Structure 1
Amino acid sequence: MLNVTVDLDVCQNHGQCVFAAPDVFRLDDSGHLVYVASPDAELRDDVEEAADVCPLQAIRVEG
């Protein structure tokens, strides 16, 4: 099972993850990050890319 966590205390809502994995990450109407904590395994490459491009390295991928 793929698990995603974002340290929302570190995240500054730059949105780079949204571009890398739009099926998992999005910005809400207030501009704050919302994400799917247990996305489908086939999205692993996109999620790992999102973690790599996060300027603050706030995203963790496990599983």
Structure 2
Amino acid sequence: MRVVVDLNRCQSYAQCCYAAPEHFEVRGHEILFYDPAPPEAKRSQVERAQQACPVRAIAIEPAGLAEGDEP
């Protein structure tokens, strides 16, 4: 799986950090760090983070997609 965060949409509410702290972290006031390729075994945590995002900035894609490919 590949995680993509639309940083233009993200408002740093940090709900993803509460849902999946191993994979998402806000540093400072607005800087989001995240794991773009978490292990498949952690999918449920990443999906919870995706669902918790109030602005729907998190997408989960299949691991094999290249930049710009449609999921």
TM-score if structure 1 supplies the norm length?
0.91
Question: Which SS does the other structure have where 1:9 is aligned?
Answer: coil
* Aligned position for 1:61: 60
* Aligned position for 2:34: 35
Structure 1: give runs of 5+ residues left out of the alignment: none
What amino acid sits opposite 2:6 in the alignment?
A: D
| Cα distance, 1:40 vs structure 2 | 1.1
- Count, aligned residues: 62
What amino acid sits opposite 1:56 in the alignment?
A: V
Provide Cα deviations, 1:10-60, integer angstroms capped at 9, x if missing partner: 000000000111111001134321101001111100101111110000000
* Aligned position for 2:4: 5
Q: Which has the larger radius of gyration?
A: 2
* Aligned position for 2:68: none
Task: Return 41-50 or 21-30, whichever deviates more.
Answer: 21-30
Q: Which has the higher contact order (CA 8 A, sep 6+)?
A: 1
TM-score if structure 2 supplies the norm length?
0.81
- Over the aligned positions, Cα root-mean-square deviation in angstroms equals 1.0
What amino acid sits opposite 1:24 in the alignment?
A: H
